[in-house]
Structure 1
Amino acid sequence: MAVGRRPAPDLGRVVFEEAGGIAEVLAACDAGRVDLAILDGEAQPTGGMGLSRQLKNEITDCPPIVVTVRRRDDRWLATWSQADAVLVHPLDPVGAAETVAEVLRAAAAADAPVVR
């Protein structure tokens, strides 16, 4: 909830879909219902970092992924997880919103048609 309903004025409202387990996350991402996934890197039994890597390697048009971690020292794991960004707990609402906005803008720019 630190991201808020509108992370930046140039972006639309955010609609959150909470998933209770891995199967729900995989189904939502695979069905294309997710524009951005925010995964808990500390979740048990399977953490968001492992799930991020699985999504990036298994879904052809994988949405961008932000992983949250408890320790700043764990940010390096995001490289392995192939996450697009990392947030560190406790989440700063301003920083979280800025990070999510940057990731959403980058995804939109990548999807934009090339004009020649």
Structure 2
Amino acid sequence: MGTRLPGVSDAPATVLVYSSRPEVREAVRTAVGRRPAPDVGPLTWVECATGDDVVDTVDGGGVDLCILDGEAQPTGGLALSRQITVEVADRPALCVVIARQPDRWLAHWSQADATLAFPVDPLIAPQVVADLLRAHAARGRRPVIR
């Protein structure tokens, strides 16, 4: 038996991945995997290809984390992150995928909890996702943008 962190369980988590491009959604899912850490997951993935799908899914509840493509068209993940933060009282954790490190200021504006650089690094992405899900499960602790 492994050691559990206080307030953290290995209950399934639902992760929404949004991009208008299927290859970006696939890259995120592949990099993160089904269980990003021994104390987190397993993950259930929900894919969204449009901004309206993201809003409807988040409004429906049950989403623990949204990973949003900042380069998606016509609605970018940065704008969706900002919209979810403003409109959803008990929002999921938010991570935006950015193509350029100088775009981190936009992630800050969007009030995302974290960023991932594209192409998504399979050594970094699981840790970022696990940290976000742990913080979301602990409620009240908000992670800092990386």
Partner of 1:70: 99
Q: Using the alignment, how far apart are the partners of 1:12 and 1:105 within structure 2?
A: 10
| TM-superposed deviation, 1:96 | 0.4
2:64 is aligned to: 35
CA distance in 2, matches of 1:47, 1:12: 27
Structure-2 residue corresponding to 1:114: none
Identity %: 54
SS of the aligned residue for 1:42 comes to coil
Name segments (4+ residues, structure 1) moved above 4 Å.
none
Aligned to 2:22: none
TM-score, structure 1 as length reference: 0.92
Structure (1/2) with the larger strand percentage: 2
Q: Which of 11, 21, 25 is equivalent to 2:54?
A: 25
Partner of 2:128: 99
Unpaired runs of 5+ residues, structure 2, are 1-28, 141-146
In the TM superposition, what is the alpha-carbon distance from 1:33 to its structure 2 partner? 2.6
CA drift of 1:65 comes to 0.6
Normalising to structure 2: TM-score of the pair? 0.73
Q: Tell me if structure 1 keeps the 8 A contact 2:93–2:132.
A: yes
The separation in 2 between residues aligned to 1:18 and 1:33, in whole angstroms, is 14
Cα offset, 1:47, TM superposition = 0.4
